[in-house]
Structure 1
Amino acid sequence: MSAGNLTQANRVLQKENDREIPERMQLPSVSTALLLASGIGIIEALALYFGAGLFLNIMGIPSASPMHNPSQRFLSLRALGAPAVVVSLAVQGVFRGFKDTSTPLFCLGVGNLSSVFLLPILIYYFHLGITGAAIATVVSQYILTLLLIWFLNKRAVLMPPKMEDLEFGGYIKSGGFLIGRTLSVLMTMTLGTSMAARQGPLAMAAHQICLQVWLAVSLLSDALAVSGQALIARSFSKGDYKRVKEITYWVLKAGVFTGVSSAVVLSACLGSLAQFFTKDAEVLGIVRSGMLFVSASQPINALAFVFDGLHYGVSDFSYVAYSMMFVGAISSAFLLYASSIFGLYGVWSGLALFMSLRMAAGFLRLGSKTGPWWFLWDFPN
């Protein structure tokens, strides 16, 4: 190599060395979130593992039921994945704060693909049945969580130098409201499943198919909620209320369009889609009777999720929590009454009422001109 080439190479190397290497961010809130998530996940895992039988009895699946032993085995194994689930949700929230949705999408894709790969191998090749399903799900959850933490570690220091730097106070203040909100949702949804389980194995199987399709399609609107939350939080923190109003109206319109489109698609293909879950004619007959519940409620579900995102964007956590507790209490009372009279139709009606009241609470807050939405009517469209 000539002297000129060596000089040029040295210059290139010097430029590379002189470039500022971005340092990982010191964010105590991130470490706080991970520690709290880990603690909650471990507690949840222990409770589910050792209390699986008790929980199933409460859910209306007694020891004499043919569903009890398989359910207990599945729940006990799935409990081992609870820490991974809770931590992954916390890390996804951190990436949302970074306005980075591509990294969680990639990690979720890898995690889900690993589950798709492992499920048929463990269930059919190794003949593990429901045990194989639980193992495949838990392994995929830990793959997802480890990937998320690996990417997060590149951007932020995951442990602060001193424990006093952890921001537990802020999390307890705002997180307490969200915990109350989440518990209300879980209790209502769990009560619905419990009431369905009391209708027998066939009704329970049909309910689970309808519920999984209902939730999977409804959660497509969660992407709108997350986007709206991130965009609104940024503009709201800057005091750009006109921009917040524009984003709010756009997300609501998109939510209506998504919900109506989902309803049309589901009403046309739910019967065929259900056959991917089971070939049992009796179960499929019950699933078809739930088509109205699954499809017609999609616009309501979409707006309910969108409103949650909007409220989170302006940090209206207290209203979200209190309204959800109120809505959950009314819906739970209706579920108990309606399911005892109308069976599975009462369960589906109760869940539809739950989402309708969530949507109504969102409309009420935006239309009240109070709280963090005081500005919503002060700017022209």
Structure 2
Amino acid sequence: MGVGAILSFWSNMGKLPLLMFFKDSRNVLKRDELGSEIVNIAVPATLALLADPIASLIDTAFIGRIGAVELASVGVSVAIFNQISRITMFPLVSITTSFVAEEEATSKPTTEAEQDANPERESDVNQELVPLTGNGNVKKSQPDGNSKKHVPSASSALVIGSMLGILQTLFLIFAAKPLLGYMGVNSESPMLNIAQQYLTLRSLGAPAILLSLAAQGVFRGLKDTKTPLYAIIIGDSMNVILDPILMFVLRLGVKGAGIAHVVSQYLIFLILLWRLAGKIELCPPNFKELQFSRFLKSGFQLLIKIWLATSLLADGLAVAGQAILASSFAKKDYEKIVATASRVLQIGVLLGFLLSCTLAALSQFAAQLFTNDRDVMQLMNLSFPFIAVTQPINTLAFVFDGVNYGASDFAYSAYSMVLVAVVSIFCLFILSSSSGYIGIWIALTIFMNLRVFAGLLRVGTGTGPWSFLRN
């Protein structure tokens, strides 16, 4: 092989899409313009995502002091509520973030020539020129100088969120007992009444949760993750304050915890709606601008995705990657696409190892915070090593989701997840029957590894929206 052939070989190797993951790896923590943009979006998003689990943990700590039956009852109710909620809320938030970011990126100012050709658009001679979005929608300037953005996807998300929230409430109220029975809480169990009451109460907050998440998706698309953070902190603080008052002072017990949670969710939604009303036009001029077909098409592709949330810190990083990538894809800024994808994935690896070390250090003390029951503590102690060790893989799985959603690659995400789910469920049945509780965690570890492989395969081979990497 001649020198020319060797140089040609290494030149082609350097163009492999897979090598994108190592691009500028020495600058992974550099506070340049891209790094600052990621941090400004990811950190508030991460804190917002952590606020609700922390409030839920405080709920759990209060409930655990009432008794083991109450703790188990609430645990199974929350598991049902969360799994039903994920079917609706995850596609809604992810799709809204991408659509709003794309609409923002493709907006362009109206020129004087366009204004002269369309004089009817100017209702006031003193009104400033209005920006025109890439799809022909107008951003209107208000007489007081405050500009409200015209984002049809935001209105669509709120309408769909309200409908899904009401449907979820009705479903959980009428199906609470059968669902609990499916989870092993039969009619003779002392857990049944407590679990059914708590699940019914929590279901009343579903509309507020779905609407809040739709609003958060809009704010994320606008690259504003601070507003949702403030709203969630206020709402969850109210939850923590109401917990001891309702549970112990008013002696409502577990029902008090459910009421506190529902009140906090509606408070979060009202704050977000108030802030959103000052930024965008919530009511579009006509029904056609509500992009229901676009939402439903992408939503259906994501509804079949199985979601396992084990590291919400990675979600914040994924949100930053998704928002920046959706904007960059809309502008066809391929250089920024590569730089953003490689940076968030590299940060994800570092974050995963940091989480592993932190969880390993806390594993001996965590169980004691929530219960004194020895059996429960034993199961928690068995689980923590798996949770800690798999964090780098879990983090990459979440970040790859954000990367692919930023490319609006929803169909691949859905179809690949179906295949991953089939393989993982097969492993779950085999391993759980042979190794019991440990087998379940091994199967979940296989599931997360397959998710990472699916994300790596799409981007690393330069297919779909990533085909530009092969040029």
Shared fold by TM > 0.5? yes
Letter in 2 for 1:48: L
Aligned equivalents of 1:78, 1:100: Cα separation in 2: 28
The one of the two structures with greater contact order (alpha-carbon pairs below 8 A, sep at least 6) is 2
> Is residue 265 from structure 1 mapped to residue 358 from structure 2 by the alignment?
yes
Counterpart in the other structure of 1:282: 375
* CA drift at 1:267: 0.7
Change beyond 3 A, Cα 1:338–1:168 = same
2:169 paired residue number: 45
Using the alignment, how far apart are the partners of 2:415 and 2:184 within structure 1?
A: 29
- Distance in 2 (CA, whole Å) between partners of 1:143 and 1:329 is 40
1:330 is aligned to 2:454: no
The match for 1:140 is 264
> RMSD value over aligned CA atoms?
1.8
**Deviations, residues 45-81 of structure 1 (Å, cap 9, x unaligned):** 1000111001111122222233322211111111111
Deviations 1:313-368, CA, capped at 9 Å, x for gaps: 11111111111122122222332333233322222222222212111111111112
Q: How many residues align?
A: 330
Partner of 1:230: 323
Q: What is the 5 A alignment of 1:31-110?
A: 31-110=155-234
Query: How far 1:243 moved relative to its partner?
Result: 1.5
2:26 alignment partner in structure 1: none
1:210 equivalent in structure 2? none
**Structure 2 unaligned blocks of 5 or more:** 1-141
Please report the TM-score for the alignment, with normalisation by the length of structure 1.
Answer: 0.82
Asked if structure 2 preserves the Cα contact closer than 8 Å seen for 1:56 and 1:72, the reply is yes
Structure 2 counterpart of 1:168, from 270, 277, 292: 292
Q: Residue 300 of structure 1 contacts residue 355 of structure 1 at CA under 8 Å; is this kept in 2?
A: yes
Q: Report deviation, 1:123.
A: 1.6
Q: Return the match for 1:299 from 374, 392, 396.
A: 392
1:282–1:26 Cα change, 3 Å: same
2:241 aligned to which of 104, 117, 121:
117
1:309 lines up with 2:402 in the alignment: yes
1:371 corresponding residue in structure 2: 464
Q: Distance in 2 between matches of 1:136 and 1:343?
A: 36
Query: Equivalent of 1:130, from 251, 254, 258?
Result: 254
Q: Which deviations, in whole Å up to 9, do the C-alpha atoms of 1:169-226 show, x marking residues without a partner?
A: 2112222212232xx33xxx6xxxxxxxxxxxxxxxxxxxxxxxx73xx110111101
Alignment of 1:203-214 (within 5 A): none
Q: Residue 81 of structure 1 contacts residue 138 of structure 1 at CA under 8 Å; is this kept in 2?
A: yes
The yes-or-no answer on 1:27 pairing with 2:120 is no
- Poorly superposed stretches of 4+, deviation over 3 Å: none
1:255 paired residue among 330, 345, 348 = 348
Q: Return closer, same or farther for 1:66/1:330 CA change in 2, 3 Å cut-off.
A: farther
In the alignment, residue 144 of structure 1 is paired with which amino acid? I
Per-residue deviation, 1:377: 5.0
The one-letter amino acid of 1:55's match is L
Identity %: 45
Do the aligned residues in 2 keep the contact of 1:228 with 1:310 (CA within 8 Å)?
Answer: yes
C-alpha distance in 2 between matches for 1:333 and 1:87: 36
What SS is found at the alignment partner of 1:26? coil
Contact 1:271 1:287 in 2 (8 A): no
The normalised TM-score by structure 2 is 0.67
Q: How far off is 1:294 after superposition?
A: 1.2
Residue segments in structure 1 that go unaligned for 5+ positions in a row: 1-17, 190-213
- The Cα of 1:306 is off from its aligned counterpart by 0.1
Which stretch shows the higher mean deviation, 291-300 or 306-315?
A: 291-300
Q: 1:350-361 residue pairs with structure 2 within 5 A? A: 350-361=443-454
Deviates more, 1:67-76 or 1:256-265: 67-76
SS of match in other structure, 1:156: coil
Please report how far the alpha carbon of residue 287 of structure 1 lies from its aligned counterpart in structure 2 after TM superposition: 1.3
User: How many angstroms does 1:20 deviate by?
Assistant: 5.6
C-alpha separation between the residues in 1 aligned to 2:430 and 2:256? 37
